[in-house]
Chain A
Amino acid sequence: AQSVAQPEDQVNVAEGNPLTVKCTYSVSGNPYLFWYVQYPNRGLQFLLKYITGDNLVKGSYGFEAEFNKSQTSFHLKKPSALVSDSALYFCAVRDPRVIFGKGTRLHILP
Chain B
Amino acid sequence: SAVISQKPSRDICQRGTSLTIQCQVDSQVTMMFWYRQQPGQSLTLIATANQGSEATYESGFVIDKFPISRPNLTFSTLTVSNMSPEDSSIYLCSVDLSGRNEQFFGPGTRLTVL
Chain A residues with CB under 8 Å of chain B are: 32, 34, 42-46, 49, 51, 88, 90, 94, 96-103, 105
CB pair A100 B43 closer than 8 Å: yes
Which B residue sits closest to A45, measured CB to CB?
B105
B42 engages A49 (CB within 8 Å): no
Binding site for A on B (CB under 8 A): 31, 33, 40-45, 48, 58, 92, 94, 96, 101-108
The answer to whether B102 touches A46, judged by C-beta atoms less than 8 angstroms apart, is yes
Contact, CB under 8 Å: B107 / A90: no
Q: Which of A34, A90, A96 contacts B42 (CB 8 A)?
A: A90
- Mostly, the B contact residues are strand
In the complex, are the beta carbons of B40 and A88 less than 8 A apart? yes
Other than the known A49-B102, A102-B41, A103-B42, what 14 A-B pairs have Cβ atoms closer than 8 Å? Answer: A32-B101, A34-B102, A34-B103, A43-B92, A43-B106, A43-B108, A90-B42, A97-B33, A97-B58, A98-B45, A98-B96, A99-B45, A100-B43, A103-B40
State A45–B45 Cα separation when bound (angstroms): 17
**A97 pairs with B48, CB closer than 8 A:** yes
